[in-house]
Amino acid sequence: MTTLRVLTLNCWGVFIPGTVKYRRERIEAIAEDISQQHYDIVVLCEVWLKSDYQRLCKKLIPRMPHSHYFYSGAIGSGVCMFSVHPMIETVFHQFSLNGFAHKPYHGDWFGGKGVGLCKFNVNGLTVNVYGSHFHAEYRRDHDEYLAHRVAQAFQISQFVRLTSEACDLVLLGGDLNVEPVDLGYKLIRTNAHLLDCWLDKKRTSGYEHGNTDEVPSNSFSSPQPGYPDGKRIDYWLYRPSPNKSVSVEECSVIMNKIPGRSYNFSDHEAVLAVLRLETGDSAESAESRDARLSERDNLLGIALTELERGQKQTESDKSFFQVQVLVLSVLLYLLETSGGLVPSAPLLLSLVKLLLIIAIAVCAWTGFIVKRIEVHGLQTVAADVVNLIESSARSKVKPEITEPHVLT
């Protein structure tokens, strides 16, 4: 029998002065708190700065000697892992869709988000630990990134499903930015066949709803309409191999206020799960599998509709930026050929021309390159969804039984 204590936390390590408060102090407090506990594996999100990762390593390596940071995009994925157990191997899969490059104030595109996998040797058992941080949901009533998060959910479910056949235990931890009622959450659970530690726990401490974001008692939270108690978007999901059984002894929301300080460790709460893994039969029954796959196929149809909607919107955005290139180019041409109309302000004219050139370059890059990449990303995921739907449909068709041909 093996017991695992695993922790995940979004550290809110965004490095925007004046916007994110006490970043360095909080990172140091996070490192100090984790180093004083007895965790087997820790998955952290939003560790954007190398200096912050080094601060964590300096404090945690003596206690958890195995660590890995998943580098991706322009500023890194923000996801890293620490463990007392040795790593066998690691890999990172970047999502095909990661937000909009022309909205740098959201920042997700520059992080190159994806899913990181660390394989651990835990007392002779192979444990696959996946860490991820999905695209943020900035406005639920007008979610322009919904198609992207649906694509990310599908891709992570496929990645987990296709890389976990030989392991004894699957663990997925992180800030998935989806709620239990959302399509993305349901896709992950049905397609990758993952269970939710919070739902299967024997005991808990902390918030009764398991909410980890916009919790009222958090010093960095602001009231959200419809979420008086916050929302649950950080998870530990799991699945044992068929010849192993798992009991979730505890799943708790922890790491609230920093001791001796007036503020929290992060704008999110941490999730602790304690799992007991032992030999046993946990194979999915045929009836349960059929029901899960039937639900999954229905969800895939909904996901495909959302991806197609996203593709139409992206095609429209692409055309918009391309038209802007034409309009701005015409305007620049008119300014070049009528420079004598503004003889008393040559510096102003030069500045306007420079701004037009920059605007043309940005629109051209966005309309002819970035948006084309986004369209292809949506098409790729949609094609994978269609292939899975068709494969599932073929598996349900019973082969015709024909009479054997008798030679005469």
Residues with a catalytic annotation lie at 268
Contacts of 206 (CB under 8 A, 6+ apart): 252, 253, 254, 256, 269
Residue 392 C-alpha from the chain's centroid: 26
302 phi, psi to nearest 5 deg: -65, -40
- Picking from 22, 38, 32, the residue whose alpha carbon sits closest to that of residue 59 is 32
Q: Please report the DSSP string for 349-373 in residue order.
A: HHHHHHHHHHHHHHHHHIIIIIHHH
In the 8-state DSSP scheme, what is residue 214? S
Q: In what order do the strands lie in the sheet with 169-175?
A: 87-94, 114-122, 125-133, 169-175, 234-240, 195-196
- Picking from 359, 351, 362, the residue whose alpha carbon sits closest to that of residue 330 is 359
Contact 159, 187 (CB under 8 A): no
Q: Per residue in 226-247, is it b (16+ CB within 10 Å) or e — as a string?
A: ebeebbbbbbbbbbbbeebebb
- In one-letter notation, the amino acid at residue 353 is K
Conformation bin of residue 230: beta by default, left when phi > 0, alpha when psi is -120 to 50: left
- In one-letter notation, the amino acid at residue 312 is K
Structure-token pair, residue 244: 């192993």
Contact 256, 217 (CB under 8 A): yes
Residue 212 Cα distances to 70, 149, 270, angstroms: 23, 19, 7
Contacts of 143 (CB under 8 A, 6+ apart): 137
List 278's β-bridge partners, or say none: 245
Conformation bin of residue 372: beta by default, left when phi > 0, alpha when psi is -120 to 50: alpha
